[in-house]
């Protein structure tokens, strides 16, 4: 990657959806890019961002593995990272006892293990320089028990909590941590999670470009957290005062296999 006067942004999960839109915003706002995803489409996305004037390196890697994260980190070639947008993640539908555990573990390792490993590596560099921005994609799913999405919601509860704790630890270091907490968004998420026969899989969803803009702007302001969309904000308020058992049953209605329109 050429050494330029532009700051460098690392964006994970940048081949589609919210991650693609976040990377696009970075390119439009003066960042060069190091982007990653576990799909070959990351290379096509790189061409789109190059057309916006950014220098772009693309890494195809499984960020559920430490080796995949190491490959991405090495691709920066020591160049200071101005912004880390840790967005990679995926879900898995159906009842936990019916899931293939290898797939369930991949959700955990992508959403949690690989994410916080990358944040630690890049975050240490930022702290030593006394500057940097970290945006972590959490979810409003972290506020409620995820019946028929138990592992995914559990990972997002971890990420939401982790983000607030890390932000507090980095207070006064010059490094900001922002947690973007979207709701259901129009991406490949529900198809990849095998949830297209569910109510939430079939309902109208938020535009990923709108979600990304909310998150990017919050990161640039240095905000601690942001929930995208007024409906999602209302959901989080209700979740904070509703018993967990009731929330779990409400989630069942959205995510139970076959709950969508026939």
Per-residue pLDDT, 1: 47
The CA distance from 181 to 162, in Å, is 13
Per-residue pLDDT, 25: 98
**Closest C-alpha to 153, from 250, 237, 233, 223:** 250
User: 132-137 and 225-227 as β-strands: parallel, antiparallel, unpaired?
Assistant: unpaired
Per-residue pLDDT, 4: 64
Per-residue pLDDT, 243: 76
Low-confidence stretches of the chain (pLDDT beneath 50): 1, 3
Q: Which residues are catalytic?
A: 152, 156
Q: CA-CA distances (angstroms) from residue 165 to 9, 176, 224?
A: 23, 12, 10
The pair phi, psi for residue 6, each rounded to 5°, is -75, 145
- Cα distance between the two ends of the chain: 50
Does residue 221 contact residue 57 with C-beta atoms inside 8 Å? no
Among all chains, which residue has been given the structure tokens 């979207």?
A: 182
- 193-240 pLDDT per residue, tens: 677 778 767 867 678 999 999 999 999 999 998 887 767 676 776 767
Per-residue pLDDT, 241: 67
């Amino acid at each position: 990657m050429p050494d330029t006067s532009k700051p460098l942004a690392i964006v994970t999960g940048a081949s589609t959806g919210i991650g693609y839109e976040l990377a696009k915003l970075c390119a439009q706002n003066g960042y060069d890019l190091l982007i990653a995803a576990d799909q070959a489409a990351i290379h096509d996305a790189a061409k789109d961002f190059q057309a916006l004037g950014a220098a772009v390196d693309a890494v195809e890697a499984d960020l559920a593995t430490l080796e995949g994260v190491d490959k991405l980190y090495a691709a920066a070639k020591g160049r200071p990272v101005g912004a880390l947008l840790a967005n990679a993640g995926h879900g898995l539908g159906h009842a936990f006892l019916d899931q293939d555990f290898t797939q369930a573990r991949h959700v955990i390792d992508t959403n949690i293990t690989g994410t916080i490993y990358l944040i630690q590596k890049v975050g240490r560099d930022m702290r030593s320089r006394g500057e940097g921005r970290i945006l972590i994609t959490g979810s409003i799913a972290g506020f409620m028990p995820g019946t028929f999405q138990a592992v995914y919601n559990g990972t997002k509860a971890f990420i939401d909590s982790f983000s607030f704790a890390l932000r507090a630890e980095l207070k006064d270091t010059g490094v900001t941590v922002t947690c973007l907490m979207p709701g259901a968004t129009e991406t490949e998420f529900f198809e990849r999670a095998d949830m297209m026969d569910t109510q939430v899989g079939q309902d109208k969803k938020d535009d990923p470009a709108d979600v990304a803009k909310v998150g990017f702007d919050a990161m640039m302001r240095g905000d601690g957290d942001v929930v995208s969309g007024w409906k999602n904000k209302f959901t989080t308020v209700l979740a904070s005062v509703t018993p967990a058992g009731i929330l779990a049953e409400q989630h069942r209605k959205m995510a139970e296999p076959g709950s969508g329109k026939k």
